[in-house]
Homo-oligomer: A and B are copies of this chain.
Amino acid sequence: MTEQARESNRQWRLKSRPVGMVKESDFEQVSETVPDVGEGQFLVRNLFFAFEPAMRGWLNDVKSYVPPVGLGEVMRATCVGQVVESRHPDFREGELVSGVFGWQDYTLSDGQDAILRRPVVKVPAGVPPERTLGALGSTGLTAYFGMLDIGEVKAGDAVLVSGAAGATGSVAGQIARIKGASKVVGIAGGPQKCAWLVDELGFDAAIDYRKENVNARLKELFPKGIDLFFDNVGGNILDDALLNMAQFARVVICGGIAAYNEMELPPGPRNYMQIVIRRLTVRGFILIDHMQEADRARQQLAAWLASGELRGREDIQEGFENAPRTFLRLFRGENIGKQLLKVAEPPLPVVS
């Protein structure tokens, strides 16, 4: 690559810790020289950034399952990119790869991400790179393990998914359908999302939480109660679901986007004593604990995608300068399916 290109590695860095709703001004754009590639390293040109609600949690200075993003550090994000220079035996120039490369044009890698030491993954031949970040990426895997290993969905279950038009929820609901759930209902915001769930993804029904009385609709749709609730949202939706669970039912807590941007932790589920009254099992999980099974899961997801049983959808915005703005789309409920930002075309011919 030319010296000129090396001089312009644009980055979005965390400028200030968000207080309440994350703002574009919490990030600042800077330019750095592209780093030199040392022995055992390779340089990635990032093509797509992926966005997930959990990234909001990484911005808080609290102990959690991963360390927070430091002030002044490049914003952490999973990306797909192309290897443009390599001194690593396992990675060749032109290959497409996925990893935690961050909001920047170029990332130097040794084959593992710097935070969790997870391996950089190659995009399989024939798979659109954006799909690697969606149904085959961390949100698809989260749906897979959450619905199957944690929720233990089985044929005949009446299943509810919140955040159902999001990247995780949309895959989770479809997996429940594939596994023979007797009913799959999604909760989402707005008629467009609800129509997509029912008309294209095969959900049995969708509840528009912005317009409908969720509790009343749940009573109507689940006269015998919900056997499995896969929750991405929390807040009032969790409370309404708790009032409509079947006895001995399961709740998978995957996320709680309703509270991610609150300045102070909002009250928890008022109806949590339903856990006792209805003898519920409530389980939380995080994808990183399941990565040893990720290959198996990706193969299954890819097979379902190939057969048409599972549909992926990406919401692709464009332009490096729009990274913070695109992140905010998640919290405004603007995305349908996986939120991505396309930042470049592959500079080299793709090899695999």
Q: Of A11-19, A264-272, A302-310, A329-337, which binds chain B?
A: A264-272
Smallest beta-carbon distance A150→chain B, Å: 9
A interface majority secondary structure: loop
CB neighbours (8 Å) of A276 from chain B are 253-256, 284-286
Smallest beta-carbon distance A60→chain B, Å: 11
- Contact yes or no, B272 A272, CB < 8 A: yes
Q: Is A282 an interface residue (CB 8 A)?
A: yes
Q: Which residue of B lies closest to A64 (CB)?
A: B277
Q: Among B259, B269, B281, B283, which residue has its beta carbon within 8 angstroms of that of A269? A: B269
CB neighbours (8 Å) of A274 from chain B are 284
Q: Among B64, B266, B278, which residue has its beta carbon within 8 angstroms of that of A284? A: B278
CB neighbours (8 Å) of A271 from chain B are 265, 268
Q: Which residue of B lies closest to A265 (CB)?
A: B270
Q: Which residue of B lies closest to A255 (CB)?
A: B276
Q: Which residue of B lies closest to A248 (CB)?
A: B289
Q: A282-B282, A282-B283 are in contact. Are A65 and B270 (CB under 8 A)?
A: no
A–B Cβ pairs within 8 angstroms, 18 of them: A64-B277, A239-B268, A253-B273, A256-B273, A256-B276, A259-B273, A265-B271, A267-B268, A268-B268, A268-B271, A268-B272, A272-B272, A275-B284, A276-B284, A277-B286, A279-B286, A280-B283, A280-B284
9 nearest A-B residue pairs (beta carbon): A267-B267, A268-B268, A276-B284, A275-B284, A268-B269, A268-B272, A282-B282, A265-B270, A268-B270
